[in-house]
Amino acid sequence: MAFDVPREGAMPVIWDQSSSVLSQGDILHAGRQGREQDVSVEIPGFGAARVDVAYGGNFSAILEVVRLRRSLPVSALRELTDLGLATVEAVRNTVAIAHPNETEPAMLKAAILAEAGTASRPARNIMVKEPGYFDRSPCGTGTSARMALEHRRGNLGLGEPYRHESILGTVFEGRLVTEADVGGIPAVIPQITGRAWITGACEFALDPGDPFPAGFKF
């Protein structure tokens, strides 16, 4: 089974067929890589901090919130959203970001506010995206980016499980399948396991009278 997704194209999916309901599956992503590590930025309204930038389908600025003496309670959602947006702005104004296989500069639009895991709790995060959204899940691209960064730091080996929890308590489990190379930059292939629910469906048709049934391009 494969899903067609933006930027990545066809992405293979492994369906857990022990149930008649498609509730859990694994997504095998394309290669990703950690990009910039330990970049010092001044975050407007919050102060100076060191931030990492990694790619997991999209570029994300990753901020360990303990560096600003903060944690991730749901009660602080408004402040955390403001912190995420300010982090995006600070990194975008400091770091030039580009994907090795693309000629145009990349646009940073998301921040991962992260907490390290403990013996009793998985790693946690809130993914904040412009213009002011946050993800109900731990975010697949964000989980991939965070695993790539942990691998680059030497904290996550191939095949090791990585549990990642959102601020709402939803959980993905990831692991790194293999190492790769993307445009001469070391990369990893992550696999994400999670649950999904069908929320809608649409149907497309080709009318035989349509003069451009396959679309057009200039």
Tens digits of per-residue pLDDT, 170-214? 999 999 999 988 888 888 989 888 887 888 989 988 898 999 988
pLDDT beyond 60 at 44: yes
Query: What is the chain's mean pLDDT, rounded?
Result: 86
Lowest-pLDDT range of 22-26, 82-86, 99-103: 22-26
Answer whether residue 95 shows pLDDT above 80: yes
Residue 98 has a pLDDT of 82
- Taking CA atoms, 32 is separated from 28, 44, 110, 114, 121, in Å, by 11, 29, 16, 19, 26
CA 180/CA 195 separation, integer angstroms: 27
Q: Extract the tokens encoding 149.
A: 């960064």
**Phi/psi-derived region of residue 201, left when phi > 0, alpha when psi is between -120 and 50, beta in every other case:** beta
Which residues pair with residue 128 across a beta bridge? Answer: 111, 134
Q: Which residue has the higher pLDDT, 63 or 19?
A: 63
Please tell me the predicted confidence (pLDDT) of residue 197: 81
- pLDDT category at 80 given cuts 50, 70, 90 is very high
Rounded CA gap, 19 and 16, in Å? 7
**pLDDT value at 66 more than 70:** yes
Residue 20 has pLDDT above 50, yes or no: no
Q: At 28, is the pLDDT very low, low, confident or very high (cuts 50, 70, 90)?
A: low
Fold classification of 2-195 is Diaminopimelate Epimerase; Chain A, domain 1 (3.10.310)
- Asked whether 64 and 115 are in contact (CB, 8 A), the reply is yes
The reported pTM is 0.81
For every residue of 178-208, DSSP letters joined together read EEEEETTEEEEEEEEEEE------------T
Q: For the chain, how far is it from start to end, CA to CA, in angstroms?
A: 33
118-149 pLDDT, tens digit each? 989 999 999 999 999 999 999 988 999 999 99
How many whole angstroms separate alpha carbon 29 and alpha carbon 3? 11
Residues of the chain above pLDDT 70, percent: 83
